[in-house]
Amino acid sequence: MDLVLFDLDNTLLNGDSDFEWAQFLISVGVLDKEVYEARNLAFYEQYKDGTLDIHEFLDFQLAPLARHSRTQLDAWHAQFMRERILPMIGEPARALVARHQGEGALVAIVTATNSFVTGPIAREFGIHHLVATVPAQDAGHFTGKPRGLPAFKAGKIARVDAWLESHGLYMGGFDRRWFYSDSHNDLPLLESVDEPVAVDPDPTLDSLARERGWPVISLRQPA
């Protein structure tokens, strides 16, 4: 059996769900545009540059979850899915996921974006396993802090290992191990699998992938 891991933002999605969630909250008046938009853009640029402080970013990104009830958050997320996420899902991405699932692979999304935002997106793809940054809860309410190690850079490997161990599995126990990603931030996990695939990669990953002979593909919907 193969293990097939997918990054989410700018890989399976034609866009970034983390960035878009904050922009959505600004658009519906939950967050103040003047205060939040510039910081959201700055964090996104730091992510692309490879300079993001994940803990500083999570303090920013998870704080709104702690201010509202889960019922209200779920209602906003349903609107977010309709308006922002579904237009970012192309048929090539759905088809690639379905192909690996049809071949009997164990398929998971591995993403630094928190599981509140990404859980419904994984379900939209029909993917039952999600390895993500986990927002901490207390008595059913989000605290605004992460629980455990963020699934970011080398943290993705640790979180994948822990997920597999919870099922009595390990990375070396699969016939082939795939990871699809767009980002140079994911180099630690890309370098740890047998089949690294660069998907619509950023310039740094595109250059490295071509130097190393890794496949470079696109999942963008044809115009």
Among 90, 89, 95, 103, residue whose Cα is nearest residue 4: 103
Fold category of 3-217 in CATH: Rossmann fold (3.40.50)
Q: What's the rounded Cα separation, in Å, for the pair 47 and 134?
A: 19
Domain boundaries, the chain: 3-217
Say whether 2 is catalytic: no
| Whole-number pLDDT of residue 36 | 87
Given the residues 2, 9, 53, 161, the one annotated as active site: 9
Encode 16-45: b = buried (16+ Cβ within 10 Å), e = exposed.
bbbbbbbbbbbbeebbeeeebeeebeebbe
* Span 143-186, pLDDT tens digits: 999 999 999 999 999 999 999 999 999 999 999 999 999 999 99
Among 76, 65, 72, 78, residue whose Cα is nearest residue 141: 65
Given the residues 2, 7, 74, 161, the one annotated as active site: 7
Are residues 133 and 117 in contact, defined by beta-carbon separation less than 8 angstroms?
no
Distances (CA, A) of 100 to 113, 169, 216: 23, 19, 17
| Whole-number pLDDT of residue 223 | 41
Under-70 pLDDT residues of the chain: 221-223
Say whether 7 is catalytic: yes
In 12-105, where do the E strands start and end? none
| Whole-number pLDDT of residue 182 | 97
